[in-house]
Structure 1
Amino acid sequence: MASAITTLAADAPTLSAANTGFMLICSALVMLMTPGLAFFYGGMVRVKSSLNMLMMSFISLGIVTILWVLYGFSLAFGTDSGSLIGWNSDYVGLSGIGITELWDGYTIPVYVFAVFQLMFAVITPALISGALADRVKFSAWALFTVLWVTVVYFPVAHWVWGAGGWLFELGVIDFAGGTAVHINAGAAALGVILVIGKRVGFKKDPMRPHSLPLVMLGAGLLWFGWFGFNAGSWLGNDDGVGAVMFVNTQVATAAAMLAWLAYEKLRHGSFTTLGAASGAVAGLVAITPAGGAVSPLGAIAVGVIAGVLCAMAVGLKYKFGYDDSLDVVGVHLVGGVAGSLLVGLFATGGVQSDVAGLFYGGGLEQLGKQAIGVFSVLAYSLVASALLAFLLDKTIGMRVSEDVEVAGIDQVEHAETAYDFSGAGGGAASRSTAAPAPSAASKKVDA
């Protein structure tokens, strides 16, 4: 008996300084993705609503962090209840956790796992905001974020990653968030825009990005941060799986960018910077669920397929008449669905698990499990998000007035503008101590 106890003690995980440091760095990288997303989205909108777009991402860093500490971590990763939700009173306020207490079977502290998963929770509602550009009250968006992460994100995270969650127990493979993050956010975006309607001038007025350099900067920050998002999701790299995920993240992203640009050239005749940035993000989205199950060659296939599918999907909003401002549905929903389903085709059975996909002799079983995960999360998030948006729209109102939308949401909601050109130029006018009052004509131009 004594020898058995000694063996168990020897086999028990001990805190790894290397893995702990690695995961803290990964957490910081994932945090950087939210400001990166803010720049990516902020550059894609018109100048009059760019600050609002930035703030819709940044506010998530504040709101979701507090909710995660108070009860979100407990709901997502606490002891399972009915395969639908978790709860652990020690996780409420993160008050009952020892500073060296290890996360379930791993070599990192619970605090490190909690902060890593927090960053996933932060960026997911921020992803939704891109579909709602130009037209949503900031206060309504903040309240929607509170309700959405509570009702949708925390439970879905438990389904997918929580011990006892029903999709986790079913065997759905989602390495880093194809279902819980991207399909979840993309379906939510579709549900909300179906409730709040189109922007003024949709399909009539030009709504071009005001700063493509900002878009490229944001895409670069997302690409950089995504290595922490994906490689960190193995919670260490003692067996090399995280390294494979790192490589596959780079490979799939590159393939998707090239595929999007090739499609764009054939379809529209140009290679655009917006296409390059969007293609890269599509590849990042698609490899997120699949990268721990496929080989680098499989990652190329995932990237190419996602790049083409997402490039095709962004035009569906004009065909079907839903106003997905910044293509959240076309990139995150479609990319997340593609990446999650492709696990069932390209899983080699030799990386994160021994589960093989159809092309590696595994049959259709895993593809079926992936489909259940994809469409259950899609349906739940779509319906729940639409109901939340409908509730808010009928109570406090989700949309700004038409006049505010036309004039620019930044001035009304934030009392600021993104760029101040009042001091630009030279000559006598710039040296004047008092600027003349603006004329009625100039006011119209400014608006």
Structure 2
Amino acid sequence: MSFNFTGTPTGHGTGGDSLTTDLNAQFELADMVWLGVSAAGVWIMVPGIGLLYSGLARKKHALSLLWASMMASAVCIFQWFFWGYSLAFSHHTRGHGFIGTLEFFGFRDVLGAPSADAAVPDVLWAGFQGMFAAVTGILMLGGACERARLFPMMVFLFIWMTIVYCPIACWTWNPTGWLAKLGAIDYAGGGVVHINSGHGALVYALILGKRNDPVTHKGMPKYKPHSITSVVLGTVFLFYGWLFFNAGSAGNASIKAWYSMFSTSLAASCGGLTWMFIDYFRLKGKWTTVGLCSGIIAGLVGITPAAGTVPIWASVIIGILTAAGCNFAVDIKSLLKIDDGLDCWALHGVGGCIGSALTGIFSADYVNATAGTYGAPIDGGWLNHHWKQLGYQLAAIMSSIAWCMTCTAIILLTMDRIPFLRLRLRPEEEEQGTDEAEIGEFTYQEDTVFIPEPIRSNITAKVPEMSAIDDKIGGDDEESNTVNKQSIETPSTASKEIENEK
């Protein structure tokens, strides 16, 4: 028995009756495979951010940040299904491209019609873009580092994705969005993901206030990362996922996808080297691992809005300038006494602005044309003598910042006045740590889990030769070695002394 496909795809709604119409016939299967793989690759960034944040935090808050990454994935993907995709990528918009309708509410009719990216169906585009929403959500929560209650965080994230993220995604990536029609370029999320999450985190940090620090009552609390290993592992996950993040944003398996993949790698590498060398001269000749990882992330952020439209050589400039700017932004944050302990604003907010502005300078029409018949032509940036493009980019930057910061502040200030949605932990809970106060589980088990056996007087122990003791003690200090030798007693010696005392 086989299907009798005699119908024709409708191009709207579900795309047609799947029992009578081969909905796949209108798409290239290779494009669908690539975008599906990219969606899975982008998701790995979510736990990667959790590992990065957890490693940068103190040990008593480490598990809560891993928890936050998985929570953000769950909340954002549910929100995306509920109405997020419809608000951002419905086929019709309201308010002259301001927000989508609810035509896809609860994924109604999300199936085989061409999506905003006509090369793939709605159901695939929705899944791919849902991963972007999850990444943006967990990045933004970095502003709550070590002092936010977790239930209000979940409520806030759902509301924030609805009121802040979805409209900006609609403006920028929906073909009928007002920024898209204006001509602003945001290839993979410099504004939608990074400017948005970075400035949302900034407002979250400002409204929560600085962490309680008994040592620096007036200054800014500053703690060493508790696990550099987690920072490195998180950066590895992010770098890997970002290759899918940017290359998948081509929406197809054209040359543009592979071009943007190498641009991403190059910008990240140049960013990592730049930050590391800056820290080398600032920190008296130390090649800092955290600096290297921070620079890699800064380079990735900077190239995100530009990867599919700028020449590969421009990736070097973008990586260097973004890393240097983000490094400087960390100092500005400290100068302004903003307690953003995970540097979400400095890396993503500032880095996204720098990358978006440079997109207006280095975009080239011939690079964008590598998408072939899949792409739409652009006028390019300053390389094509299209001077207005930088103005379009600045309009996108400023409008995204204004909307994000205003709406985020209103949401948080309103929630904080509702008793059961109080945002911040109490001082004694902060001292305990979020892991103990809010979760009751810990990243590291430090309690003794065994009971040592008692010393028994009837057991005779063989005293080791002093030469063997010397090998175990080691060291060049003769006096300390003598003390250590004298302090070594066998169980039988200790029991004899007890019997003599009796």
Q: Deviations over 1:306-335 (max 9, x none)?
A: 011111111222201111111011100110
| Greater displacement, 283-292 / 187-196 | 187-196
Q: Deviations over 1:245-286 (max 9, x none)?
A: 101000000000001111111222222111111111101111
Equivalent-residue separation in structure 2 for 1:138 and 1:344 (angstroms): 39
Equivalent positions of 1:170-209 (< 5 A) are 170-201=182-213, 203=219, 206-209=222-225
Equivalent positions of 1:148-227 (< 5 A) are 148-201=160-213, 203=219, 206-227=222-243
| Runs (5+) with no aligned partner, structure 2 | 1-10, 12-23, 369-376, 455-502
Match of 2:439 in 1: 414
Equivalent-residue separation in structure 2 for 1:316 and 1:105 (angstroms): 39
Q: Deviations over 1:286-323 (max 9, x none)?
A: 10001111111100000000011111111222201111
Equivalent-residue separation in structure 1 for 2:183 and 2:119 (angstroms): 24
Per-residue deviation, 1:243: 1.1
Equivalent-residue separation in structure 2 for 1:426 and 1:128 (angstroms): 45
Equivalent-residue separation in structure 2 for 1:425 and 1:413 (angstroms): 27
Equivalent-residue separation in structure 2 for 1:157 and 1:367 (angstroms): 20
Equivalent-residue separation in structure 2 for 1:428 and 1:305 (angstroms): 62
| Greater displacement, 345-354 / 416-425 | 416-425
Coordinate RMSD, CA, aligned: 1.9
Equivalent-residue separation in structure 2 for 1:215 and 1:293 (angstroms): 31
Match of 2:493 in 1: none
Going from structure 1 to structure 2, the CA distance change for 1:264 and 1:13 (only over 3 Å counts) comes to farther
Equivalent-residue separation in structure 2 for 1:405 and 1:96 (angstroms): 46
Return the match for 1:73 from 69, 74, 85: 85
Going from structure 1 to structure 2, the CA distance change for 1:81 and 1:354 (only over 3 Å counts) comes to closer
C-alpha contact (below 8 Å) 1:184/1:377 kept by paired residues:
yes
2:298 is the alignment partner of 1:282: yes
Match of 2:483 in 1: none
Query: What TM-score results when the alignment is normalised by the length of structure 1?
Result: 0.89
2:152 is the alignment partner of 1:140: yes
Q: Deviations over 1:361-394 (max 9, x none)?
A: 4242100000000011011101111111111112
Return the match for 2:381 from 346, 357, 362: 357
Match of 1:103 in 2: 115
2:245 is the alignment partner of 1:229: yes
C-alpha contact (below 8 Å) 1:196/1:393 kept by paired residues:
no
- How many correspondences in the alignment? 416
Q: Greater share of helix residues, 1 or 2?
A: 1
Query: What TM-score results when the alignment is normalised by the length of structure 2?
Result: 0.80
Going from structure 1 to structure 2, the CA distance change for 1:206 and 1:64 (only over 3 Å counts) comes to closer
C-alpha contact (below 8 Å) 1:187/1:379 kept by paired residues:
no
The higher-RCO structure (CA 8 Å, 6+ apart) is: 1
Equivalent-residue separation in structure 2 for 1:322 and 1:13 (angstroms): 54
Going from structure 1 to structure 2, the CA distance change for 1:289 and 1:144 (only over 3 Å counts) comes to same
C-alpha contact (below 8 Å) 1:13/1:105 kept by paired residues:
no
Match of 1:129 in 2: 141
Equivalent positions of 1:113-128 (< 5 A) are 113-128=125-140
Per-residue deviation, 1:237: 2.1
| CA radius of gyration, larger in | 2
Which amino acid in 1 is paired with 2:227?
A: S
Equivalent-residue separation in structure 1 for 2:432 and 2:44 (angstroms): 32
Match of 1:394 in 2: 417
Q: Deviations over 1:17-76 (max 9, x none)?
A: 111111110000111110111001011100000111111221111111111111111100
Which amino acid in 2 is paired with 1:422?
A: D
Going from structure 1 to structure 2, the CA distance change for 1:22 and 1:267 (only over 3 Å counts) comes to same
Match of 1:84 in 2: 98
C-alpha contact (below 8 Å) 1:76/1:85 kept by paired residues:
yes
| Runs (5+) with no aligned partner, structure 1 | 1-7, 430-447
